[in-house]
Structure 1
Amino acid sequence: MYAARTTQYQGSLMIDICDLELIGSKLEQDSLAIDLTEAYFKQEVITQEQAGELLKKCAIANLVGDKIVGQALSMKMAKEVSVKRISGVPFLMIFKFQQK
């Protein structure tokens, strides 16, 4: 299960998804900090299947956690070299460039 937030950004779907068990934690390392608040990330709780559908149709994705980042990697949406670790927790940003 994941905590998810969806928004429209400049006419595109932007998603923020994190592993549900990370809600309420704060990741800090060097000059980076991510506060995984329920107010921001937990607009809804979704399944792995729902997350896969959102990953397919979004233009921008911000992903935090072993499970959701692993899912994006297994869907070949990014490569391991693109994953940043903050306090040992995987963080991945995906931007899909689409030509119109």
Structure 2
Amino acid sequence: MLLAERDTPEGLLVSVCDAEDLGETFEGDGVSLTADPEFYDGEAADADAVTDALARCSVANLVGEESVGVAVEAGFVAEGNVLDLDGTRHAQYLRL
């Protein structure tokens, strides 16, 4: 997984993407998502690093089976809120 963290005025923004999905475009149910390298490329990370980043962030965007799976397993994203886009998964997390 690739993990990027950005400090914003609204808090920490985290993006997580399965490496094989980087640069790919996925579509489904009228939605199109490109895993843009400018946004999703980051450092290689394991599940513990991703979970730690999700625990600290205000907003997260996740693309890929493994990336979304870590967020679901750790309780940050409900399975019912995950989008299936052309064979991969996408989720967003927002802490209010």
Class of the TM-score when normalised by the shorter of the 2 chains:
0.7 to 0.9
Which letter does structure 2 place at the counterpart of 1:64?
V
Distance 1:31 1:92 in 2: 16
Deviations along 1:36-81, one digit per CA (max 9) or x if unpaired, are: 2333311322222211110111111111111111111111112111
* Residue-pair matches, total: 96
Q: CA deviation at 1:9?
A: 2.6
Q: Which runs of 4+ in 1 moved over 6 A?
A: none
Alignment of 1:74-85 (within 5 A): 74-85=73-84
Task: Report the equivalent of 2:6.
Answer: 7
Q: What is the TM-score of this pair, normalised by structure 2?
A: 0.87
RMSD value, Cα: 1.5
Task: Report the equivalent of 1:71.
Answer: 70
Distance 1:43 1:70 in 2: 18
Q: What is the TM-score of this pair, normalised by structure 1?
A: 0.84
Please tell me whether residue 35 in structure 1 is matched to residue 41 in structure 2. no
Alignment of 1:17-36 (within 5 A): 17-36=16-35
Q: Taking every aligned residue pair, what percent have the same amino acid on both sides?
A: 22
- Give ranges in structure 1 of 5+ residues lacking alignment: none
Alignment of 1:43-62 (within 5 A): 43-62=42-61
Larger radius of gyration: 1
Distance 1:11 1:39 in 2: 20
